Amino acid sequence: SDAYGFSKDQVIAGNGSSELLGLIYRAFLAPGDRVAMLSPGFSFNRKLAMLQGAEFLEIASSEAHPLPIEKLLSGPAKDAKFILLANPNNPTGTFVPVAEIERLVEQADRLIVLDEAYVDFAPDHALRLVNRHPNLLILRTFSKSYAAAGVRVGFGFGHPEIIGRLRNIQNVFNMNVIGQAVGKSILAHRHAYEENHRHIKHERQRVTLALLQLGFSVTPSHANFLLARVPAGQEGSCWQAALKEQAILIASFPDVDLKNCIRVSIGTTEQMDKFLAAAKRVCMNFKKNRGVHKHEVNSH
């Protein structure tokens, strides 16, 4: 709490922010209730709603309208017990200005849960809004920008009433001593990670430009990954399989809107060089195979 300038009753720690998400669903939802989330979003939330017997509403967003406030507060979403946002968003990496987030929080008559898991790669954060708005709960984690996913350390900032409600149902043995020790060390040396954050931002831009040259369409990202739409006529799952053959692991998506997309994590310069070299080979193979297919069609 001291590291971020909050009182102890405004902060809750968890076994990763995923534990805190689970607490939120249990504390604020009953079977049959609704929860709203921007789409595309973190698919884990759909499972949490299902476990609680709640209805999960996905409100479509786009590059032109990354935060459709009216849709989130009206229509089917009007009765949602809380609204869940991620900023930067996962899996797109898009970032909504904090002023827009505050506009939603001000207009909403319910809890807004803001997941800032990737915020250290973004230009701004919303922690300053917590003391202004009692209906805002912000989640953070050490899993992304501090490379500590394995120790499971997450935390939330909000009004004491919200934090107390979550603590009342939290397992008292939720965090192990290793996670606590690593968390304290990270907080004591946070500035030592800033160079790594700068490196990832630089590599993110370099890889973006390289993918554009290969014919991809890349969503502007403020996270430590890129969402890229593969060249026309191809599918993300095919790219995933082709890159896996070259020992490169990426994500693809079954969702209709994202089936032509891949998600690439940003690593070291050497790792990204290997990825780009493999991507160039895959591009050449796709073009070669398409040329053979066209020749066979024309010969018939």
Nearest to 85, CA basis, from 75, 122, 74, 98: 98
Locate the domains of the chain by residue range.
2-188, 193-299
* Per-residue model confidence as pLDDT tens digits over 162-172: 999 999 999 88
φ, ψ for residue 235, nearest 5 deg? -125, 150
Confidence category of residue 247, pLDDT binned at 50, 70, 90: very high
Give the integer Cα–Cα distance in Å for 286 and 114: 40
Nearest to 220, CA basis, from 37, 66, 38, 59: 66
If you average pLDDT over residues 120-147, what whole number do you get? 93
Confidence category of residue 134, pLDDT binned at 50, 70, 90: very high
Single-letter residue type at 73: L
What is the token pair recorded at 299? 């010969």
Alpha helix locations (H) across the chain?
17-28, 44-51, 69-73, 98-107, 160-167, 177-188, 194-213, 236-244, 269-299
**DSSP string covering 59-117:** EE--SS-SS-HHHHHSGGGGG-SEEEEESS-TTT-----HHHHHHHHHH-SSEEEEE-T
pLDDT at 195: 87
Q: Residue 28 in contact with residue 158, Cβ under 8 Å?
A: no
* Per-residue model confidence as pLDDT tens digits over 57-94: 999 888 778 899 999 999 999 999 999 999 999 999 99
Single-letter residue type at 13: A
CATH number of the structural domain 193-299: 3.90.1150.10
What is the token pair recorded at 114? 């803001």
Nearest to 51, CA basis, from 23, 15, 14, 81: 23
Asked if 2-188 and 193-299 have one fold, the answer is no
Confidence category of residue 295, pLDDT binned at 50, 70, 90: very low
pLDDT of 148 strictly over 80: no
pLDDT at 290: 65
What is the token pair recorded at 47? 């499972």
Long-range contacts of 291-298 (CB under 8 A, 24+ apart): none
pLDDT at 9: 95
Q: Are strands 111-115 and 82-86 parallel, antiparallel or unpaired?
A: parallel
Candidates 1.10.3730.10, 3.40.640.10, 3.30.70.360, 2.40.40.20; correct CATH number of 2-188?
A: 3.40.640.10
DSSP 13: E
Give the integer Cα–Cα distance in Å for 114 and 92: 16
Q: Residue 204 in contact with residue 120, Cβ under 8 Å?
A: no
pLDDT at 54: 95
Single-letter residue type at 132: R
